[in-house]
Amino acid sequence: MFELVKAGGWLMLPIILCSAIALAIIAERFWSLQRKRITPKHLVAQIWHWARNKQLDEAKILQLRKGSQLGRIIAAGLVNRHHPREIMKESIEDAGRHIVPELERFLNTLGTIASITPLLGLLGTVVGMIDVFTAIIEHGVGNPAELADGISKALITTAAGLSVAIPALMFYRYFRGRVNELVLTMEQEALKLIEVLHGEREDADLEEEENELQ
C-alpha cells in the first residue's frame, strides 16, 4: 500500500486526507441521524397522555427539550400551548428552522469532498502526463522505465480520486434523503400534537399509541 501511495506522488496526500475526513463524517452522521435519537417512537402519545392527566408542566417540557430534536420542536410549541393554534405553529416552525442545520451538519463538507477528489485525481493525471512528456524530451521513447513513472502516477491518482469520490457522493445523497425524511416526520408529529391539543382531530390514533406504551 505504501508503495502504491508513493507511486502516486504528492497528490495522494490530499486524496488520503479527504478519504479520512469523509470516513469520519459518514460514521458520525450514521450515529447522529438514527431515527430513535431524532424522532423517538410514541413521543407524541406520551405528551398527549401527560396533557390529558394534567401532568404537563415546565419540568416535563424541559425534559422534552433535552431528550431529542423532535422533543425540542414540540417543547417550543408547548410553551405557547395556551395561545392560538397559529402562534403555536409558528413557534414549532421557528424551532424546526434551527434544528435542520444540525441535521445537515458536515454534509456540505462531504459533498465538497465528493466534488474535489475527482479533480485531484485529474490533476494527478495531468502531472503524470507532464512527467511522461518530460521524460520523452530528455530520454526519448527508448527507455520504458522513464515513462512508466509518469504513467503510473497518472493512473493511480485518478483511481484514488474516484475511489474516494464515488462512496462520498453516495453517502451524501443518502444522508440528504435521511434528513428530508426526518424533517417531514417531525413536522407531521408536531402538527398532529397541535391538532390534538386544540381539539381539531379525533384522538383515537393517540389512544392506540398510548395503549402500546402501557
Q: What is the pLDDT of residue 154?
A: 75
The low-confidence residues of the chain, meaning pLDDT below 50, are 200-203
Q: Are 103 and 29 in contact (CB under 8 A)?
A: no
Nearest to 23 by CA among 99, 109, 101: 109
The whole-angstrom separation of Cα 150 and Cα 130 is 8
Q: Calculate helix-pair angle for 69-78, 85-103, nearest 10 degrees.
A: 160
Q: What is the pLDDT of residue 200?
A: 44
In the structure grid, which three cell numbers stand for residue 185, read together? 416526520
Q: Are 22 and 113 in contact (CB under 8 A)?
A: yes
Place of cell 505504501: 2
Q: What is the pTM of this model?
A: 0.79
